[in-house]
Chains A and B, each alone.
Chain A
Amino acid sequence: MESVCIGCSHCMKVCPTEALRVVNGKAVLHADWCIDCGECYRVCPTRAIRVTDDDFKQIFDYKYRILLIPTIFFAQFEDNISREEIYNIIGELGFTETCVVEQSVDTLINEINEYLKNADKPVISSFCPAVIRLIQVRFPSLVDNIMKLLPPLEITAQYYKKRFEKEGISEGDAGIFYLTPCIAKIAAVKSPVGGYISPITGVINMDYFFNKVYLAYKQKIPITKKIVVNKEISSKGVLFPTTGNESRHIKGRTLAIDGMSNSIDFLEMLENEEIEGVDFLEIRTCDESCAGGILSYRNRFLAAESLRNFARQTPDTHNLIGEYYRSCSAVVHMDKIEPRSMIKYDRDIELAIRKMESARELKELLPGIDCGACGAPSCEALAEDIAREQADISACIFLRTVFGKRGEISLEDSIRIMEKIWGAKRFIKDKDGSQ
């Protein structure tokens, strides 16, 4: 976020946990409050927000290199580019083998239906890692509703890990790589919840990899290498990452919710026990689910349409299902998923109450227009920051004007405050108006 950040504050405005501030002309993240949803990445105009994915070259540290491809990757391309061509390019780029992530969906669906028989309702799907993190941070009382079953990518990774073992390939030779359409899934693989350790060796950014593959396609690079393609996939699997195509396979009363603000609204109601009698909830924080994934480049509606076309060419079931049942499962021992409390003020509750009351009083003084000129996303957030002694009331441009009128603050001081928030460079203007 350092040098490329222009301090435009777009990210600050979209963060669902208000974890970003602008200080000295740069965005600053409160890491404890971050849920890895990637909304900030989506709106960043300068790509200052980076994803901590793995270096692509590391794949060559392994003799056997399998790439787990989410179906949404194929939907990045126009429908006239065949999957065969894409597979060939992926082989040429260095992978020895590939499969579709959602191969494990068919067995997972049965395991979810089994799980639901003995679970407290409603069960919230564990598919979307941003939802899990959102619940941990903002809805801690709902953590026990999160389904303790692995998501498809982990089950598929297990399957190939077992298969490599069976073939006598040593662990040091086998690299299992996951192509991710989503930032939260990187965090989910690197630091999973519930004490689970992922068999995935590395995560590759889909946005980066799409460029690589599409460039190779455009330049018509010659194909010299062979790649093993595990094509088995059912139509259920193809569509699973799109909205409504998880919940529709689950027995009982189910709902499918997508989009960040929809997810937050719904979880809020669920927490108040305003919703009764629902058995299963598919909740995904991206609009149109993974078709609208943060690292998905194509328009979400076109990508979703592409997956529907893909599913129409795909059978209802596939030939590896039996083997999946025999060798892997979504059921693993998982510890309790811990809430990640968003303590705003202090661990000492008396002190916290005092600070919160102070923040409430401060909020009354602020204009309530959430302009963001103070470097905080809302008047409420600024009031909280002041109460936490991390900001000053003179950061508010409205109040500063009042203080100026009263002669309590000089124009020079006022400019200095503005520079402290937005960086000195912003205020150097030439006569012609350019910076």
Chain B
Amino acid sequence: MPDLNRFIKMQLEYNVEGGDFTQAGYASSQIKKSLKQLGVDPAVIKRVVVALYEGEVNIVAHAYRGVIYANIESTGIKLKLEDEGPGIPDIEKAMTKGFSTASSSVREMGFGAGMGLPNISENADYLLIESEVGKGTTLNIEIKF
């Protein structure tokens, strides 16, 4: 038997490619599976998945590439979505419902209708957005169990 006491928390990591819509949602599905196996309240899982999926699709639609880190602890989940991309010039504006910078081809695929960041914010207990124009954006999301 491996020594279980080595693990204090569970850390997951997923790479996300910009423009790869067919793979979008993989990280969300994997993290969802883990939370279900832990017996986390379905209502909480739903909030995690909705926030995460929005964030994941944001990376695909707007950034060149990104990494999703998830830390699962007994009290909750911490998510960090780090991308290399154009960055957000005006975070306040991006937080407005309906605002979107997604290109028209992306919108045609049913993605990028705005709502991304506000929706994440609504589902998260804590949200911190850090962004540098021309470099990228990092979302820190926390949801308590």
Contact = CB atoms under 8 A, between A and B. Distances in A.
B73 A353 contact: yes
B45 interface: yes
Contact of B25 (A143, A274, A355, A386): A274
Interface in B1-34: 1-2, 4-5, 7, 9-10, 25, 28-29, 32, 34
Nearest to B53: A272
* Pairs of residues from A and B, 7 with the lowest C-beta to C-beta distance, nearest first: A141-B42, A357-B7, A140-B42, A343-B39, A344-B37, A350-B74, A354-B4
Given A339-B42, A344-B37, A356 B10 contact: yes
Given A354-B4, A357-B7, A272 B32 contact: yes
A119 interface: no
Interface of A: 138, 140-141, 143, 268-269, 271-274, 339, 341-345, 347, 349-358, 360-362, 384, 386, 389
Given A273-B49, A344-B37, A353 B9 contact: yes
Contacts, number: 76
Contacts of A386: 1
B109 interface: no
B72 interface: yes
B25 A360 contact: no
Contact of A354 (B5, B29, B53): B5
B145 interface: yes
Contacts of A351: 4
B39 A352 contact: yes
Contacts of A345: 37-38
Given A271-B32, A341-B36, A353-B10, 19 more contacts: A141-B42, A141-B45, A268-B29, A269-B25, A273-B46, A343-B37, A343-B38, A344-B38, A345-B38, A349-B38, A349-B40, A352-B37, A353-B9, A353-B38, A353-B73, A356-B34, A356-B38, A357-B9, A386-B1
A141 B32 CA distance: 11
A141 B46 contact: yes
A347 B38 CA distance: 8
A271 B46 contact: yes
19 contacts: A140-B42, A141-B45, A141-B46, A268-B29, A272-B29, A272-B32, A273-B46, A342-B36, A342-B37, A343-B37, A343-B39, A349-B74, A353-B72, A353-B74, A354-B4, A357-B10, A358-B2, A358-B7, A360-B10
Given A272-B28, A272-B49, A349-B145, A358 B39 contact: no
Contacts of A358: 2, 4, 7
Interface band, chain B: 20 to 34
Contact of B2 (A271, A339, A341, A362): A362
A345 B37 CA distance: 7
A349 B39 contact: yes
A354 B46 contact: no
Nearest to B110: A276
A344 B40 CA distance: 11
Q: Which of A342, A349, A384 gathers the greatest number of chain B CB atoms within 10 Å?
A: A349
Contacts of A272: 25, 28-29, 32, 49-50, 53
A228 B42 CA distance: 49
A344 B34 CA distance: 10
A140 B36 CA distance: 9
Nearest to A138: B36
A355 B4 contact: yes
A357 B73 CA distance: 11
B145 to A, nearest CB: 7
Contacts of A138: 36
A368 B37 CA distance: 20
Nearest to B10: A357
Contacts of A384: 37
Given A349-B74, A354-B7, A355-B4, A274 B53 contact: yes
Nearest to A140: B42
A342 to B, nearest CB: 7
B36 A389 contact: no
Nearest to B123: A273
A268 to B, nearest CB: 6
B109 to A, nearest CB: 12
Interface string B109-130: 0000000000000000000000
A389 B1 CA distance: 8
Contacts of B73: 353
A296 B40 CA distance: 38
Q: Which of B29, B38, B40, B74 gathers the greatest number of chain A CB atoms within 10 Å?
A: B38
A165 B66 CA distance: 68
A404 to B, nearest CB: 20
Contacts of A269: 25
